[in-house]
Structure 1
Amino acid sequence: MTKLSVNVNKIATLRNSRGGNAPDLLKVASDIQRFGGEGITIHPRPDERHIKYQDAYDLKPVVHTEYNIEGNPIPKFTDLVLAVKPTQVTLVPDEEHAITSNAGWDTKKHAGFLKEVISEFKRNDIRTSVFVDPVKDMIEGACEIGADRIELYTEAFAQGYSRGDMDAIKPYALCAQLGIDLGLGVNAGHDLSLENIKFFKDNVPELLEVSIGHALISESLYLGLENVINMYLHKLK
């Protein structure tokens, strides 16, 4: 079964909006795992507008499933990951003030930089994943720089699926298979939801993990967090 890692950024956004500790990020992360979630993802950004850097440390003893920290490997982020030592680090080429992730890495253009960063994480026994568009050259580049996994950036699929374009899955299926052939593990994330997750999972081979935050938390406002997590788990079987 594909693992469900829940991104808790939106919980931190809600907490920060009042300046207190409600909702309690650590309790929510603990409850997500109790409800069946198989991982916790955070994406700290330099302005700490949702996840604060201290949250990454505070979550470490709470997360007993997969702990995934994603972000742009600027020095502050790299130091954080090396100190916390999560299960996985996912490298994302965010611009500093980007609202959300909006592109994958050019693994050819940035090969030297990424290879150096990945080598440092792997020396510290941290699994590395690289956020990429479903483009053949980018998958091959991820292999060449020594990544353990790729995370396929799924916004284009989600937009196509919402328009009824079932062919939007094709580049993802092809790139996932290429990654597998090259020895890479395959993750996916961005705009995946209860509406499209089963179709995506059924058509992408050997999908190891999906990271879902915004849609899952939004759906939980109507359906409840425990219920929504189990709905995802059912669709991912």
Structure 2
Amino acid sequence: AGAAHRGGSKESRGSKEEPAAPPPPEPVRLEDLPAYVEKIEGVVFDMLLTEWRELEGDFLTSTQELFQWQRAEQAEFSGGLHGIQSRFVKFLQRPDDKQREIDAFVQRFNDFSEEYPEMRKQDETKAELHQRVDDLQVKLQGMVESARAKSLDLLRETEESGWVEAHVDVVAAQVQHLVRLEVKRYHAASQLLSDFYFAAMGAGLPEAKPSPPTINALDGQEEQQAEVPDPKAKAKAKAKAK
């Protein structure tokens, strides 16, 4: 009897029809929004208006500060680049003593040839003049090596100055700041829309959305941000109570 009773209960449960799922809500058309806004209570309306003004004001102020920062960085970069180019042109135009040595050698050779023309034919004189040419070559080679060493030192100093890396870091910081501003704006806009539609449907106000993670746009990672109390929570609680 007990088995029959249990079997009968299963049949009775199986015979019950499952309730139909509620139809999905229809999207609100833009021209219908004023009617929904009129239904919102005054306290909630004021809170939503404050949310919108804070969202717009914070984003506008933050982006203006970012663009001002970017313009200052661009001016500083252009000035620094102009300084580098000017110093390089000055470096290329620095005086060179090699030509002076060559001119002096040629002048001494011509003076000797004019004063002692007959000695030019002697083998000893030719050997001496050849030796002087070799000595001049060694001297010029030493001057070239010295200038090369100084140029390499200047190149190394320029490469290790960190000027390029510093400006790259500034641009990276600006990109990072811009991404986080957009995340903050998106989070505030999502909260505003949720509050509005819940209030328009008469369902009260939803819970505050959790703070978004701190996004590192340079390596694509997210750092979980500690939960920060919502400054609008008290206003929402007051609106719910009323």
TM-score tier (shorter): under 0.3
Higher CA-based Rg:
2
- TM-score of the two chains, using structure 1 as the length reference: 0.20
Identify the structure with the greater helix proportion. 2
Query: Which gives a bigger RCO, structure 1 or 2 (Cα 8 Å, sep 6+)?
Result: 2
Point out the structure with the larger strand share.
Answer: 1
